[in-house]
């Protein structure tokens, strides 16, 4: 039997979704189209002279070895951020799920970092890891590690990955915890009676049942690493040293806002848009098939 509510009116459904569509058009489609249009132009900073240059902006970008390097950086960065973020939060959620006493306090504390703005998170870690005054720097020095991310690209990358992943762990944690709590107890208990240890129970029962959540978080985390980590980078390394943490979205900002190069920056955002669309399509078409809902 048809359970859906069917509107008889011809205009009411459209009127009801209109606000949402209007918001989407004004705040998402319009800027996207504008970026697309600007990407074919060469403008001076004040917009006094505008030339149509066709694909010249794209050609310049793709011919620039440093821009191509920035792709690699972004790939490494997003895989690390999404990977560590998901792995650690899954571990924390699995642990939190077992805690009985003080569970609420424990969970609440784990959720806190999500309320911290990316820039603030960046500054926090910046202070902890500051080359001359950071507490962690001192600790590292005492065990003989030369910590100087201002010059060492790998260390700078590590710093931004930690700061970016740390912020996302709370978000992932929430979803995993909800996912874990929705797994029927009898399933796990039955497995336990059959003699499966905690590790085996986790991998054969819990994890497959969590896979929709994990998949959703993978998409969200990749998008987060691509776009939202801008604040973390800006507050800490600003793309340095020598471009070691210059992820694509940061370069878009730098060239467009600080460098006043609207055409080049727009071309970069168009490329970025294409990448994220492609990634999402791939994820939904191929990864989703392997996920059990």
Q: Which residues bind another protein (CB under 8 A)?
A: 42-49, 51, 53, 60, 64, 66, 131-133, 148, 150-153, 238, 240-243, 254-255, 257-261, 263-264
Taking the complex as a whole, the smallest distance from the CB of residue 249 to another protein amounts, in Å, to 16
DSSP 265-286: HHHHHHHHHHHHHHHHHHIIII
**Tokens linked to 52:** 């149509």
Measured from the CB atom, the residue of 92 and 267 that comes closer to another protein is 267
Shortest distance in whole angstroms from residue 99 CB to another protein: 42
Nearer to another protein, 208 or 259 (CB): 259
Of 178, 164, 187, the closest CA to residue 94 belongs to 178
Q: Give Cα separations from 17 to 21, 93, 274 (angstroms).
A: 6, 37, 27
Nearest residue to 134 via CA among 10, 236, 275: 236
> Whole-number minimum distance, CB 147 to another protein, in Å?
13
Q: For residue 27, count other CB atoms closer than 10 A to its CB.
A: 10
Long-range contacts of 174-178 (CB under 8 A, 24+ apart): 174/111, 174/114, 175/213, 175/216, 175/217, 176/89, 176/90, 176/92, 176/93, 176/94, 176/210, 176/213, 176/214, 176/217, 177/93, 177/96, 177/97, 177/107, 178/213
- Of the two residues 149 and 171, which places its CB atom closer to another protein in the complex? 149
End-to-end distance of the chain based on CA atoms, in angstroms?
24
Please give the Cα distance from 219 to 100 (Å, whole number): 31
Q: How far is the CB of 257 from another protein (least distance, A)?
A: 5
What angle is formed at CA 52 by the lines to CA 51 and CA 53, rounded to 5 degrees?
105
Structure token digits, residue 51:
């030339």
CA distance 36 to 278: 17
C-beta of 265: minimal distance to another protein in Å? 11
* Residue 126 C-beta: closest distance to another protein, Å: 11
Contacts of 283 (CB under 8 A, 6+ apart): 215, 218, 219, 222
Nearest CA to 229 out of 132, 35, 110, 85 is that of: 85
User: Measured from the CB of residue 95, what is the shortest distance to another protein in angstroms?
Assistant: 39
Least distance in angstroms from the C-beta of 141 to another protein: 10
């Amino acid at each position: 039997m048809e359970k859906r509510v069917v509107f008889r009116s011809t205009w009411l459904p459209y009127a009801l979704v209109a606000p949402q569509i209007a918001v989407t058009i004004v705040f998402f489609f319009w800027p996207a189209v504008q970026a697309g249009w600007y990407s074919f132009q060469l403008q001076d900073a004040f917009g006094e002279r505008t030339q149509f240059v066709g694909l010249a902006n794209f050609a310049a970008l793709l011919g620039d070895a440093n821009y191509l390097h920035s792709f690699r950086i972004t790939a490494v960065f997003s895989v690390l951020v999404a990977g560590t973020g998901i792995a650690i939060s899954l571990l924390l959620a699995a642990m939190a799920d077992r805690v009985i006493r003080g569970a609420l306090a424990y969970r609440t504390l784990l959720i806190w970092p999500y309320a911290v703005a990316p820039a603030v998170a960046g500054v926090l870690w910046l202070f902890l890891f500051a080359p001359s005054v950071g507490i962690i720097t001192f600790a590292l020095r005492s065990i003989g590690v030369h910590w100087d991310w201002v010059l060492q690209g790998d260390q700078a990358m590590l710093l931004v990955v930690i700061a970016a992943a740390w912020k996302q762990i709370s978000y992932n944690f929430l979803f995993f915890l909800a996912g874990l709590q929705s797994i029927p107890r009898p399933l796990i208990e039955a497995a336990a009676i059959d003699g499966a240890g905690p590790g085996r129970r986790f991998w054969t029962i819990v994890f497959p049942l969590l896979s929709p959540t994990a998949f959703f978080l993978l998409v969200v985390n990749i998008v987060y690493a691509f776009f939202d980590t801008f604040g973390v980078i800006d507050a800490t390394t600003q793309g340095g040293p020598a471009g070691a943490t210059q992820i694509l979205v940061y370069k878009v900002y730098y060239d467009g806002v600080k460098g006043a190069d609207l055409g080049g920056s727009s071309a970069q955002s168009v490329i970025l848009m294409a990448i994220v669309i492609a990634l999402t399509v791939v994820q939904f078409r191929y990864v989703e098939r392997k996920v059990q809902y």
